Amino acid sequence: MPIDPALIEFASRFRIAPPIGSISPLGRGLINDTYRLESGGRDYVLQRINGHVFPEPERIMANLSRLARHPDRPESLGLRVPVLIQAHDGASFVRDDAGAVWRLMEFIPDTCNLSRLQDETQACEVGRVLGRFHRWTAVLPSADFAVTLPGYHDTPSYLERLRALFDPSVATPSGSVRPGPDPTASEITALQSFIEARSDLAEALDRAVQSGRIAPRLTHGDPKLDNILFDRDGRRALALIDLDTVQPGLIQHDLGDCLRSCCNALGEGETDPSKVRFDLALAEAILTGYAEATRGWLGEDDIDCLFDGIRVMPFELGLRFLTDHLQGDRYFKVDRPGRNLVKARIQFALVADIERREPAIRAAIEAAFHPVSGRPSATGPLRGSA
């Protein structure tokens, strides 16, 4: 297949050795356009940032540049993150004629993605690599980082947006599409009942912040399994990638989203909600690995709120999938109509199974963070700098 000349032109604007060789699509991402590029005997990742999802991509690039100035290399904690390649003018990105932002990063060699965790050893590695990332970024002032996605993980707002689509008396947001007659209407009504029965969940972590129990820190924002690179044997987690959503947030959201991604026993592609199961053994291993990497860092209130994060993340994603379905699949890429509705059903089924397993999940959290001596005396959490 011939290489798109435009991709060659974008790549040539960065500080890489010629000649530019192969360029091919990379990964399963739903947001950005990503390519693997070979030039001068080295591999890189060329990427166009989706300006519809990230209307101010300059904020992303400023955050990545700030991470690159971290006083300690991530390797000091056993972690790797992608390294930005500068453009010839010294900038961290270039623009195409339409104004879209393109960037180039190193391709981390001798690594692989896992589509699903096979055992508790891999799961423990996932927890460790996320914990290392949180420890590595904890020394950076949160105020130095821009918010790249305003309203991200604002679960109450996601719920209100969906309610506006359900309620014909409420004006829809500008540009949205209110659904007409729908053969899945009865199913959507059932989902609406499921959601409203859990409406209090949407504000659980917000209440903890407002009461001072937990506080924002620097987070990855999207620590799903796709964004974790393992060694070629798939045994050791080496890197966290896709740092576009690095911004001030809640640790509970990050760890909860990681568990949501990794502990759906049949994977993200399952279409039958009745088969959805939250894999407790994998969850225990992830929590153990995370606790080992962050020992002494989280305060007791942070730990007490972890279950809320585990439960709210599939709930929130279900809200987003269902909203996108009702608005015509405008945010998440789909391969066929109705796919976002199916994905919403799967996430809500995961919520239900997490609720059924609440005592066991809470026990796993307790065992991971207080493995021997029980709860420590109050020493106060290490907060991220504001």
CATH number for the domain including 199?
A: 3.90.1200.10
Q: Which domain holds residue 261?
A: 120-369
Cβ(329)–Cβ(343) under 8 Å?
no
Q: Are 101 and 128 part of one and the same domain? A: no
Tell me which of 58, 84, 109 is where a domain ends.
Answer: 109
How far is Cα 137 from Cα 145, in angstroms, rounded to an integer?
11
Q: Are 50 and 74 part of one and the same domain? A: yes
Q: What is the CA radius of gyration of the chain?
A: 21
Q: Are 146 and 63 part of one and the same domain? A: no
DSSP for 132-180, please give it. Answer: HHHHHHTTS-GGGS--SSTTTT-HHHHHHHHHHHH-TTSPPPTT-----
Q: Are 288 and 154 part of one and the same domain? A: yes
Whether the pLDDT of residue 386 is over 50: the answer is no
Tell me which of 89, 109, 129 is where a domain ends.
Answer: 109
Domain assignment present for 125 = yes
Domain assignment present for 377 = no
State the CB neighbour count (10 A cutoff) for residue 59. Answer: 18
pLDDT digits (tens, 9 = 90+) for 62-102: 999 999 999 999 999 999 999 999 999 999 999 999 999 99
Cβ(228)–Cβ(15) under 8 Å?
no
Q: Are 353 and 251 part of one and the same domain? A: yes
Q: In the block, which residue shows the tokens 């950005």?
A: 32
Q: Are 277 and 317 part of one and the same domain? A: yes
Helices 120-137 & 280-293, crossing angle to 10 degrees? 40
Domain assignment present for 381 = no
Q: Which two tokens stand for residue 224?
A: 């799903």
* Domain count within the chain: 2
Domain assignment present for 385 = no
Whether the pLDDT of residue 184 is over 90: the answer is no
Tell me which of 90, 109, 128 is where a domain ends.
Answer: 109
Whether the pLDDT of residue 171 is over 60: the answer is no
pTM of the model: 0.89
pLDDT score for 166: 87
Domain assignment present for 39 = yes
Q: Are 79 and 157 part of one and the same domain? A: no
Query: Which of the four pLDDT bands, split at 50, 70 and 90, describes residue 381?
Result: very low
- 375 vs 343, residue with greater confidence: 343
Whether the pLDDT of residue 116 is over 80: the answer is yes
The amino acid that residue 154 corresponds to is D
Q: Are 164 and 244 part of one and the same domain? A: yes
Cβ(260)–Cβ(313) under 8 Å?
yes
How far is Cα 248 from Cα 134, in angstroms, rounded to an integer?
11
Would you say how long the chain is, in residues? 386
Domain assignment present for 375 = no
pLDDT digits (tens, 9 = 90+) for 196-237: 999 999 999 999 999 999 999 999 999 999 999 999 999 999
pLDDT score for 374: 52
Is 25 exposed, middle or buried (CB count within 10 Å of its CB: 0-12, 13-18, 19+)?
A: exposed
Query: Which of the four pLDDT bands, split at 50, 70 and 90, describes residue 382?
Result: very low
Whether the pLDDT of residue 307 is over 90: the answer is yes
Q: Are 186 and 241 part of one and the same domain? A: yes
pLDDT score for 279: 97
Residue 362, SS3 per DSSP: helix
Domain assignment present for 306 = yes
CATH number of the domain within which 22 lies = 3.30.200.20
157: Cα separation from own chain's centroid: 18
Q: Are 96 and 176 part of one and the same domain? A: no
How far is Cα 332 from Cα 294, in angstroms, rounded to an integer?
33
Q: Are 202 and 74 part of one and the same domain? A: no
Dihedral Cα 112, 117, 119, 124, nearest 10 deg: 80
How far is Cα 89 from Cα 160, in angstroms, rounded to an integer?
44
Cβ(71)–Cβ(46) under 8 Å?
no
Domain assignment present for 53 = yes
How far apart are the two ends of the chain, measured CA to CA in Å? Answer: 50
Q: Are 203 and 259 part of one and the same domain? A: yes
